[in-house]
Amino acid sequence: MTTKQSASSRSAARGHTNTRGTKRRAITAKEFDALFDSGSDEIDQYLDWERVRQPGREVQRVNVDFPVDLLQSIDREANRIGVTRQAFIKLRLADTLRKLRYNVTKTKILKRQIIDNERQIADSLEKTEIIKRQIADNERQIADNLEKMQQLAAEIQRLKKRDREADISR
C-alpha cells in the first residue's frame, strides 16, 4: 500500500529546479522545518516563490455590477485610505464577513445564556412555589397553635376562676 505524497514532497523528490535553471537539492521535512524555525534565508533556495500558493486562498475573478453612486463612494473611501478600489472592496468584504462570523458566534453564545437563564428562572420559580407552600403550611400551623394557645388561656382562666370560687367558699 502506498501513501499519497503532498505536492511539495513530490517536487522535492524530483529535485525541482529553481528559476535560474539549476537543480535544487531535496531536503527532508525536518530539515525544512529546522531552516524555517531558524529564520534563515537559506530556505529560499528550496522554494519557488513564483508558484507558492496558500491552500484555500486561490484567486477567482468575478464581475460585480455597482450603482454609479456606490462606486464613487467606494473610490472616495479607497483614495482616502490610500488603497485601490479592488483592495478596498476586499478589505470591506473581509471585515464584514469577520464581523458577521463574530456576530453569529456571539448570538449563539447569547442564545445559550438565555436558555441557561430561562432554566435558572424556571428553577427559581419552582423553588419559590415550594417556599410559598411551606409558608402556607407554617401559617396554618401558627394559626392552629394560636387557636390551641387561646383555648389553653381560656382553660387557665376558667381554672383560676374555679380556684378563686373554691377559696371563697372555704
What does the pLDDT look like over 90-105, one tens digit per residue?
Answer: 999 999 999 999 999 9
Least confident range of 20-24, 87-91, 114-118, 154-158: 20-24
The three three-digit cell numbers of residue 42, written as one number: 537559506
pLDDT digits (tens, 9 = 90+) for 111-148: 999 999 999 999 999 999 999 999 999 999 999 999 99
- Tell me what pLDDT residue 35 has: 87
Contact between residue 60 and residue 53 where contact means Cβ atoms under 8 Å apart: no
- What is the pLDDT, as a whole number, of residue 17? 47
Q: Is the pLDDT of residue 14 over 90?
A: no
Beta-strand runs (E) in the chain: none
